[in-house]
Amino acid sequence: MSTAVSPLAPPDVPEMPVIAGVRLATAAAGIRYKGRTDVLLALMDKGTTVAGVFTKSKCPSAPVEWCRAKLKGAGSSKKGSARALVVNSGNANAFTGKTGKASTALTAQIASKAVGCSTSDVFLASTGVIGEPLDATKFDGVLAQLAETATPDLWMDAAKAIMTTDTFPKVATATVKLGKAKVTINGMAKGAGMIMPDMATMLSFIFTDAPLSAGVLQSLLKAGVEDTFNALTIDGDTSTSDTLLAFATGAAAANGAPKISRASDPRLKAFTKAFQQILANLSEQVARDGEGARKLVEVVVEGATTKPSARKIAMSIANSPLVKTAIAGEDANWGRVVMAVGKAGEPANRDKLSISFNGIRVAKSGARDPSYDEKEVSEAMKAPKVQIKVALGLGKAKDRVLTCDLTKEYVAINGDYRS
Amino acid sequence: MSTAVSPLAPPDVPEMPVIAGVRLATAAAGIRYKGRTDVLLALMDKGTTVAGVFTKSKCPSAPVEWCRAKLKGAGSSKKGSARALVVNSGNANAFTGKTGKASTALTAQIASKAVGCSTSDVFLASTGVIGEPLDATKFDGVLAQLAETATPDLWMDAAKAIMTTDTFPKVATATVKLGKAKVTINGMAKGAGMIMPDMATMLSFIFTDAPLSAGVLQSLLKAGVEDTFNALTIDGDTSTSDTLLAFATGAAAANGAPKISRASDPRLKAFTKAFQQILANLSEQVARDGEGARKLVEVVVEGATTKPSARKIAMSIANSPLVKTAIAGEDANWGRVVMAVGKAGEPANRDKLSISFNGIRVAKSGARDPSYDEKEVSEAMKAPKVQIKVALGLGKAKDRVLTCDLTKEYVAINGDYRS
């Protein structure tokens, strides 16, 4: 694990307010790491709704399968309700066969006893090494103690307990009007490698006291991830464990917040915007903590025939090792950007392409921009954030993807993570 | 440019025989590099046939477009004939707009004068930096001198003149019976980065004295690349310039070799096998010279539902930065292999997966193989060649892909290639 904090970490960490109906506790259960917390228990009051989106991996982790089954409700009346979230770091409980399934069942059982709820109201997430059995008996005793000591104000501790190769905890918060009442949204995320979310990235949890039905929450999540967590890549590697869960306690109803049961409800407008900003904020923080990252990279593709086409080209650029190493070397190597546009397989006309780095156009109409000044662009490449903009000149569709550069530190971090 | 030869370079370099009807010459034209050759001229006798396969990039280089047009014959009777091949390193003449097109035309004109042939019999390939105009006037005088001094025995010099970040020249040769006559096949290749051939990789040229029609040559190439150059990836980045050309002078007809004009001709059997071995040999050499490579990696996927499905999963593993960095760290991290299988999006059943490293099974039936010995596998990972075998347990289809590990040197090489 890297110990130095990413130079791209946000300078300001927000004060995280409490969310009525949510209590948190963390512990060091010794799952893998020594001398740090590795278990988070979040307790939610009765009436809390839940929604989730997960990895599209064909080999998902056991906790992902557990959560999916609970959200589907498995025929139960509990569909969409939640009372507890248990997250551990250090072991992903992925590719652990029947042991993995048994381990999720045992964890949920221990949690349900500790909290006093049904196992179907327990949600689970694990992150860390893949393929090692997770010994769920380590939660025995620990979760009961956490349930007793949980308090509403432990947000930073919670965000720290779920870290793996992250170099800083990732949190975001917003307070917004729902009807005439104030409601609050808190979010946290972890993730630094194995990130090319064909969905959410690694682990992220959102909590609010707004009274939203599970269906509304699910709609908000699904719409919200499209241009945030789904438009993010560190290394093109999709985790087996990507999990994004949102919980709504509904506690703000006591202050007059209206109960929302339709996603199209006009009163939801400000909330939707704030919710999306939280997702955008957290996903950008994940890019800022990309393993070994020294530059935040924003890839903008415009003039595409369709938005999915723009997304595919942007992802091709964002995942190109040659583009990413060039950025690490502060080299405005637009030839490699052309290469990445060309290999995407999407409509592109070489002779209409224009490319800019941090607002300086280096190529236009399929050739070097004769007016560009190498010195000026070299200077611009030294900034901690680099925007690559590609204008395809074909249509009006546009998209944007966030990533980071590829440095020797990425190789160092991943060359001996397991051992 | 890296100067140390890759530790994976083949220990033995073959003696390259002459190919009747082919003469070679190289020069230092100062296109980009100092103190080394950067131009190759290959002269072929009248009656030489030609075939080619090229990058699938949507933004191909000017020389690729030139060769494609010549192979299509553009309505001319010259279709499939060749007299000269001009290759330069240092500048790819890609993304150079109208200047690039003019540059290919001028180069071909200079070559046609020097050789005394039609411009439609001139084939061109360029490799090196993208987006810089290629000054074709540098060939003026140079090509005329090369045409005068060309000799049949310069194969190693030729292979050196086309190198960019390669650390060793790549050649292969075979002698085989066609009918009752001996015929010879010589091949050379260059390529070390920007390699994920959705076709051939970077530049490779095959020469033979066998009397083959252009159609037969094209069939041999198309069939031959599928499991060789197309089953190779260094970094997942497809070049704008990938070019594989084959030339058959037909000179062996004088020794009694039969003229072959149908790909299904049974007399072609031994030749076809030798031709494919040359392609396999050259493409493996490219993997062995992957930028910064310290390990040759063979990914075998078996038990798949179809061969294309096996290919897609093998490529997903071979292109995963996390798998590649794990190999660099000599870590048998099969969890990352599971991740890469899962993200491929192809049929896979987690609980049927088995994974081996260099013949040692580390996972079976979707979980850690209880019998595997960490020490034994750690020892095996120290070998310069690592085979990752994934058994999906679904069907009978199988495929194989070659790649290399991802090291800090890759990042170093590509972090300041252009500047």
How much is the pLDDT for A201? 43
What gap in Å lies between CA A187 and CA B9, rounded to an integer?
A: 51
Judged by CB atoms closer than 8 Å, whether chains meet at A408 and B406 is answered as no
Average pLDDT over residues B340-349: 89
Handedness of CA B368, B369, B373, B376 (dihedral sign): negative
Structure tokens given for B73 = 């014959």
Q: Tokens 């010099």, residue?
A: B157
Which has the higher per-residue pLDDT, B158 or B334? Answer: B158
Question: Which residues of chain B neighbour A339 with C-beta distances below 8 Å?
Answer: 57, 59, 130, 194, 237-240
Judged by CB atoms closer than 8 Å, whether chains meet at B339 and A366 is answered as no
How much is the pLDDT for A413? 78
Which amino acid, residue B201?
Answer: T
**Prediction ipTM score:** 0.78
How much is the pLDDT for A336? 87
Judged by CB atoms closer than 8 Å, whether chains meet at B410 and A412 is answered as no
Handedness of CA A349, A350, A353, A356 (dihedral sign): positive
Q: Collapse the DSSP code of B140 into the 3-class scheme (helix H, G, I; strand E, B; otherwise coil) and give the result.
A: coil
What gap in Å lies between CA B210 and CA B178, rounded to an integer?
A: 8
pLDDT tier for residue B98 given thresholds of 50, 70 and 90: confident
Q: Collapse the DSSP code of B221 into the 3-class scheme (helix H, G, I; strand E, B; otherwise coil) and give the result.
A: helix
* Phi, psi (degrees; rounded to nearest 5) at A84: -150, 145
Judged by CB atoms closer than 8 Å, whether chains meet at B338 and A412 is answered as no
**Cα A70–chain centre separation:** 21
Q: Tokens 């084939």, residue?
A: B123
> What is the full per-residue pLDDT of chain A (419 aa) written as tens digits?
445 888 888 888 999 999 999 999 999 998 888 889 999 999 999 999 999 988 888 888 899 999 999 998 644 555 789 999 999 998 888 888 888 999 999 999 999 999 999 999 999 999 888 788 899 999 999 999 999 999 999 999 999 999 887 889 999 999 999 999 999 999 999 876 655 443 334 788 999 999 999 999 999 999 999 899 888 877 767 677 888 899 999 999 999 999 999 999 999 999 999 999 999 999 899 888 888 889 999 999 999 999 999 999 999 999 998 899 999 999 998 888 988 998 898 999 888 999 999 999 999 988 889 888 889 999 999 999 999 999 999 999 999 999 999 888 888 877 764 44
Asked if A305 is an active-site residue, the reply is: no
Question: Which residues of chain A neighbour B290 with C-beta distances below 8 Å?
Answer: none
H helices of B198-243, in order, are 214-225
* Phi, psi (degrees; rounded to nearest 5) at A260: -110, 125
Question: Which residues of chain B neighbour A194 with C-beta distances below 8 Å?
Answer: 322, 336, 339
Which amino acid, residue B236?
Answer: G
Nearest CA in chain B to A337: B130
- Write the residue in A237, A416, A419 that is nearest to B320 by C-beta: A237
How much is the pLDDT for B75? 46
Judged by CB atoms closer than 8 Å, whether chains meet at A98 and B367 is answered as yes
Min Cα separation B333/chain A (Å): 7
What gap in Å lies between CA B167 and CA B9, rounded to an integer?
A: 8
What gap in Å lies between CA B318 and CA B340, rounded to an integer?
A: 9
For the purposes of burial, counting CB atoms within 10 Å of the CB of B340, is it exposed (0-12), middle (13-18) or buried (19 or more)?
buried
Nearest CA in chain A to B378: A419
Question: Which residues of chain A neighbour B328 with C-beta distances below 8 Å?
Answer: 411, 415
H helices of B193-298, in order, are 214-225, 269-288
Average pLDDT over residues B367-376: 88
How much is the pLDDT for A416? 61
pLDDT, tens digit (0-9, with 9 covering 90-100), for B37-89: 999 999 999 999 999 988 888 888 899 999 999 998 644 555 789 999 999 99
Nearest CA in chain B to A199: B343
Q: Which of A56, A57, A331, A374 to mutate to test the interface with B (most CBs of B within 10 A)?
A: A57
pLDDT, tens digit (0-9, with 9 covering 90-100), for B238-256: 677 888 899 999 999 999 9
Residue of A224, A236, A104, A234 lying closest to A166 (CA atoms): A234
3-state class percentages of chain B: helix first, strand second, coil last, to nearest 5:
35, 25, 40
pLDDT, tens digit (0-9, with 9 covering 90-100), for B276-308: 999 999 989 988 888 888 999 999 999 999 999
How much is the pLDDT for A193? 61
The DSSP result for A174-217, as a single string, is EEEEETTEEEEEEEEEE-SSS---SSS-SEEEEEE-S-B-HHHH
pLDDT tier for residue B194 given thresholds of 50, 70 and 90: low
| Domains with residue ranges and CATH for chain A | 22-287 (3.60.70.12), 296-415 (3.10.20.340)
Instruction: Pick the catalytic residue from A107, A201, A228, A249.
Output: A201
In this structure, are residues A136 and A94 in contact, taking their beta carbons and an 8 Å threshold? no
Min Cα separation A51/chain B (Å): 23
Min Cα separation B331/chain A (Å): 7
How much is the pLDDT for B106? 97
pLDDT at B236 over 80: no
**Distances in whole angstroms, Cα of residue A25 to Cα of each of A143, B97, B415:** 9, 61, 44
Min Cα separation B328/chain A (Å): 6
Judged by CB atoms closer than 8 Å, whether chains meet at A338 and B129 is answered as no
Angle at A105 between CA A101 and CA A107, to 5 degrees: 115
- Write the residue in A94, A334, A408 that is nearest to B411 by C-beta: A408
